[in-house]
Amino acid sequence: MAGRGRSRLPKQKRCRCRSSGCGRNCVRRPRADEPVDITSRPRSIGVLSMSGASAVLTVLVAHGDANSTSGVDAFNTWTNAFGSLITSLALIVGGIWAYFKFAKGRTFRPRLEIEMSGQWLKIKREQWLQVRVRVSNIGAARIKLQQEGTGLEAWVLVSAQALPPDYATWQSKKVYEVLDDHRWVEPGETVSDDLLLNLGIRPAPVRLDARIIVKRKIFGNIEVNARQIVPAAAVIDHSQA
Protein backbone atom coordinates (compact mmCIF):
# COMPACT_ATOMS: atom_id res chain seq x y z
CA MET A 1 0.00 0.00 0.00
CA ALA A 2 1.06 3.59 -0.64
CA GLY A 3 0.53 4.77 2.94
CA ARG A 4 3.34 2.68 4.41
CA GLY A 5 6.05 4.72 2.57
CA ARG A 6 7.99 1.79 1.20
CA SER A 7 10.06 2.14 -1.94
CA ARG A 8 8.92 0.43 -5.08
CA LEU A 9 12.46 0.17 -6.45
CA PRO A 10 13.65 -3.34 -7.01
CA LYS A 11 16.26 -4.64 -4.56
CA GLN A 12 19.75 -5.39 -5.83
CA LYS A 13 20.44 -9.02 -5.50
CA ARG A 14 23.79 -10.26 -4.24
CA CYS A 15 25.89 -11.75 -6.90
CA ARG A 16 26.28 -15.43 -6.37
CA CYS A 17 28.43 -16.14 -9.36
CA ARG A 18 31.99 -17.36 -9.00
CA SER A 19 33.16 -16.22 -12.36
CA SER A 20 35.59 -13.35 -12.81
CA GLY A 21 33.75 -12.24 -15.94
CA CYS A 22 30.62 -11.18 -14.13
CA GLY A 23 29.14 -8.08 -15.77
CA ARG A 24 27.23 -6.89 -12.73
CA ASN A 25 28.50 -3.97 -10.65
CA CYS A 26 28.86 -5.94 -7.48
CA VAL A 27 31.39 -6.95 -4.91
CA ARG A 28 32.40 -10.53 -5.08
CA ARG A 29 34.32 -12.47 -2.57
CA PRO A 30 37.43 -14.29 -3.76
CA ARG A 31 37.70 -17.95 -3.27
CA ALA A 32 40.08 -19.43 -0.80
CA ASP A 33 42.32 -20.89 -3.50
CA GLU A 34 42.21 -17.78 -5.72
CA PRO A 35 45.31 -15.45 -5.63
CA VAL A 36 44.76 -11.96 -4.27
CA ASP A 37 45.66 -8.92 -6.44
CA ILE A 38 47.58 -6.56 -4.15
CA THR A 39 47.64 -3.77 -6.74
CA SER A 40 43.96 -3.20 -6.23
CA ARG A 41 44.44 -2.40 -2.49
CA PRO A 42 44.77 1.19 -1.17
CA ARG A 43 48.26 2.73 -1.45
CA SER A 44 48.27 4.64 1.85
CA ILE A 45 50.42 2.00 3.48
CA GLY A 46 53.06 2.28 0.70
CA VAL A 47 53.12 6.06 0.94
CA LEU A 48 53.56 5.83 4.70
CA SER A 49 56.36 3.33 4.28
CA MET A 50 58.14 5.55 1.76
CA SER A 51 57.85 8.55 4.11
CA GLY A 52 59.31 6.55 6.99
CA ALA A 53 62.17 5.32 4.83
CA SER A 54 62.92 8.89 3.76
CA ALA A 55 62.97 10.05 7.36
CA VAL A 56 65.29 7.22 8.38
CA LEU A 57 67.57 7.96 5.43
CA THR A 58 67.67 11.65 6.36
CA VAL A 59 68.66 10.78 9.93
CA LEU A 60 71.36 8.40 8.72
CA VAL A 61 72.77 11.01 6.30
CA ALA A 62 72.80 13.64 9.04
CA HIS A 63 74.49 11.22 11.41
CA GLY A 64 77.02 10.36 8.70
CA ASP A 65 77.75 14.05 8.11
CA ALA A 66 78.27 14.55 11.83
CA ASN A 67 80.59 11.57 11.97
CA SER A 68 82.44 12.84 8.90
CA THR A 69 82.85 16.30 10.48
CA SER A 70 84.09 14.85 13.73
CA GLY A 71 86.45 12.59 11.81
CA VAL A 72 87.92 15.54 9.90
CA ASP A 73 88.36 17.48 13.14
CA ALA A 74 90.08 14.52 14.76
CA PHE A 75 92.37 14.15 11.73
CA ASN A 76 93.26 17.84 11.84
CA THR A 77 93.97 17.59 15.57
CA TRP A 78 96.28 14.62 15.12
CA THR A 79 97.98 16.32 12.16
CA ASN A 80 98.65 19.48 14.18
CA ALA A 81 99.95 17.45 17.11
CA PHE A 82 102.23 15.45 14.83
CA GLY A 83 103.51 18.64 13.21
CA SER A 84 104.25 20.17 16.62
CA LEU A 85 106.09 17.02 17.65
CA ILE A 86 108.21 17.07 14.50
CA THR A 87 109.00 20.76 15.04
CA SER A 88 110.05 20.12 18.64
CA LEU A 89 112.26 17.21 17.60
CA ALA A 90 113.83 19.34 14.88
CA LEU A 91 114.59 22.09 17.39
CA ILE A 92 116.13 19.60 19.81
CA VAL A 93 118.26 17.98 17.10
CA GLY A 94 119.29 21.42 15.81
CA GLY A 95 120.27 22.51 19.32
CA ILE A 96 122.35 19.38 19.87
CA TRP A 97 124.04 19.85 16.49
CA ALA A 98 124.76 23.51 17.25
CA TYR A 99 126.20 22.57 20.65
CA PHE A 100 128.58 20.02 19.18
CA LYS A 101 129.43 22.36 16.32
CA PHE A 102 130.11 25.29 18.63
CA ALA A 103 131.43 23.74 21.85
CA LYS A 104 132.92 20.46 20.70
CA GLY A 105 133.88 21.35 17.14
CA ARG A 106 134.95 24.85 18.27
CA THR A 107 133.89 26.39 15.00
CA PHE A 108 133.38 29.82 16.54
CA ARG A 109 135.78 29.45 19.43
CA PRO A 110 138.37 32.26 19.49
CA ARG A 111 141.66 31.07 18.07
CA LEU A 112 144.80 33.19 17.97
CA GLU A 113 148.25 32.61 16.55
CA ILE A 114 151.11 34.55 18.17
CA GLU A 115 154.49 35.09 16.51
CA MET A 116 157.44 36.89 18.08
CA SER A 117 160.82 37.94 16.77
CA GLY A 118 163.60 40.29 17.86
CA GLN A 119 167.00 41.71 17.12
CA TRP A 120 169.64 43.71 18.96
CA LEU A 121 170.29 47.31 17.97
CA LYS A 122 173.12 49.59 19.05
CA ILE A 123 171.85 53.10 19.72
CA LYS A 124 174.30 55.68 21.19
CA ARG A 125 176.57 53.06 22.69
CA GLU A 126 173.68 51.24 24.28
CA GLN A 127 172.21 47.92 23.29
CA TRP A 128 168.47 47.85 22.68
CA LEU A 129 166.32 44.85 21.92
CA GLN A 130 163.71 45.40 19.24
CA VAL A 131 160.79 43.00 19.68
CA ARG A 132 157.94 42.45 17.23
CA VAL A 133 154.72 40.72 18.27
CA ARG A 134 152.27 39.56 15.61
CA VAL A 135 148.82 38.22 16.47
CA SER A 136 146.65 36.53 13.80
CA ASN A 137 142.97 35.65 14.16
CA ILE A 138 142.68 32.23 12.52
CA GLY A 139 139.15 31.62 13.83
CA ALA A 140 135.73 32.40 12.37
CA ALA A 141 134.66 35.05 14.89
CA ARG A 142 135.85 38.51 15.78
CA ILE A 143 138.06 38.56 18.85
CA LYS A 144 137.97 41.26 21.49
CA LEU A 145 141.23 41.92 23.31
CA GLN A 146 141.41 42.73 27.00
CA GLN A 147 144.36 44.86 28.06
CA GLU A 148 144.19 43.77 31.66
CA GLY A 149 146.35 40.65 31.86
CA THR A 150 147.75 41.06 28.34
CA GLY A 151 151.50 41.69 28.16
CA LEU A 152 155.00 40.68 27.13
CA GLU A 153 157.52 39.50 29.72
CA ALA A 154 161.26 39.53 28.97
CA TRP A 155 163.63 37.06 30.63
CA VAL A 156 167.43 37.02 30.65
CA LEU A 157 169.92 34.32 31.64
CA VAL A 158 171.26 34.41 35.15
CA SER A 159 175.02 34.54 35.56
CA ALA A 160 175.28 31.38 37.65
CA GLN A 161 173.89 28.46 35.69
CA ALA A 162 173.56 24.89 36.87
CA LEU A 163 176.10 22.32 35.78
CA PRO A 164 175.19 20.47 32.60
CA PRO A 165 173.14 18.69 31.67
CA ASP A 166 170.35 20.90 32.99
CA TYR A 167 167.81 23.51 31.96
CA ALA A 168 168.77 27.15 31.60
CA THR A 169 167.86 29.41 34.47
CA TRP A 170 166.08 32.64 33.58
CA GLN A 171 165.41 35.82 35.45
CA SER A 172 162.46 38.08 34.69
CA LYS A 173 163.36 41.64 33.84
CA LYS A 174 160.00 43.32 33.28
CA VAL A 175 156.47 42.93 31.92
CA TYR A 176 155.62 45.29 29.06
CA GLU A 177 152.29 46.33 27.62
CA VAL A 178 151.57 45.05 24.13
CA LEU A 179 148.82 45.63 21.56
CA ASP A 180 147.42 48.46 23.67
CA ASP A 181 146.22 50.25 20.52
CA HIS A 182 144.06 47.33 19.37
CA ARG A 183 140.64 46.50 20.81
CA TRP A 184 139.64 43.62 18.53
CA VAL A 185 140.90 41.45 15.68
CA GLU A 186 138.69 40.52 12.74
CA PRO A 187 138.66 36.96 11.30
CA GLY A 188 141.69 36.49 9.05
CA GLU A 189 143.27 39.74 10.26
CA THR A 190 146.79 40.09 11.66
CA VAL A 191 147.85 42.88 14.00
CA SER A 192 151.37 43.61 15.20
CA ASP A 193 153.22 45.71 17.73
CA ASP A 194 156.91 46.71 17.90
CA LEU A 195 158.67 47.34 21.19
CA LEU A 196 162.14 48.74 21.86
CA LEU A 197 163.47 47.39 25.15
CA ASN A 198 166.46 48.50 27.18
CA LEU A 199 167.32 45.45 29.25
CA GLY A 200 170.67 46.84 30.47
CA ILE A 201 172.69 43.91 29.14
CA ARG A 202 174.90 43.15 26.20
CA PRO A 203 173.48 41.16 23.28
CA ALA A 204 172.52 37.75 24.66
CA PRO A 205 169.72 35.23 24.32
CA VAL A 206 166.43 36.61 25.63
CA ARG A 207 163.28 34.68 26.39
CA LEU A 208 159.98 36.35 25.48
CA ASP A 209 156.71 35.23 27.05
CA ALA A 210 153.56 36.72 25.52
CA ARG A 211 150.10 36.47 27.01
CA ILE A 212 146.93 37.64 25.22
CA ILE A 213 143.57 37.79 27.01
CA VAL A 214 140.49 37.32 24.81
CA LYS A 215 137.44 38.96 26.33
CA ARG A 216 134.12 37.09 26.24
CA LYS A 217 130.77 37.86 27.85
CA ILE A 218 129.92 34.23 28.49
CA PHE A 219 131.97 31.08 29.13
CA GLY A 220 134.78 33.24 30.63
CA ASN A 221 137.81 34.86 29.07
CA ILE A 222 140.43 32.90 27.15
CA GLU A 223 144.16 33.17 27.78
CA VAL A 224 146.53 32.54 24.88
CA ASN A 225 150.24 32.13 25.65
CA ALA A 226 153.35 31.92 23.48
CA ARG A 227 157.09 31.69 24.12
CA GLN A 228 160.03 32.56 21.94
CA ILE A 229 163.80 32.68 22.57
CA VAL A 230 165.58 35.41 20.62
CA PRO A 231 169.25 34.56 19.97
CA ALA A 232 171.92 37.20 20.33
CA ALA A 233 172.50 37.34 16.57
CA ALA A 234 168.82 37.24 15.58
CA VAL A 235 167.51 39.57 12.88
CA ILE A 236 163.90 40.62 12.39
CA ASP A 237 162.33 39.66 9.07
CA HIS A 238 160.89 42.99 7.93
CA SER A 239 158.98 41.35 5.07
CA GLN A 240 156.38 40.18 7.63
CA ALA A 241 155.83 43.60 9.16
On whether the CB atoms of residues 206 and 129 are closer than 8 A, the answer is yes
Query: In the chain, which ranges are E strands?
Result: 112-123, 126-137, 143-157, 170-176, 184-185, 190-197, 206-215, 222-230
**pLDDT given at position 104:** 55
Classify domain 112-240 at the CATH topology level: Immunoglobulin-like (2.60.40)
Q: Is the pTM of this model over 0.85?
A: no
User: pLDDT tens-digit profile of 141-157?
Assistant: 899 999 999 999 999 99
Domain boundaries defined on the chain: 41-105, 112-240
The identity of residue 186, as a single letter, is: E
**pLDDT given at position 30:** 56
Q: Dihedral through CA 35, CA 39, CA 45, CA 48, nearest 10?
A: 150
The DSSP letter of residue 39 is: G
Name which of 42-56, 155-169, 203-217 the model is least confident about: 42-56
The residues, ordered by sequence, that sit 6+ positions from 175 with a Cβ below 8 Å of its Cβ are 151, 152, 153
User: pLDDT tens-digit profile of 37-62?
Assistant: 544 444 444 444 555 556 555 655 55
Rounded Cα distance, 199 and 194, in Å? 15
Has residue 174 got a pLDDT over 70?
A: yes
DSSP H helix total and E strand total for the chain: 1, 8
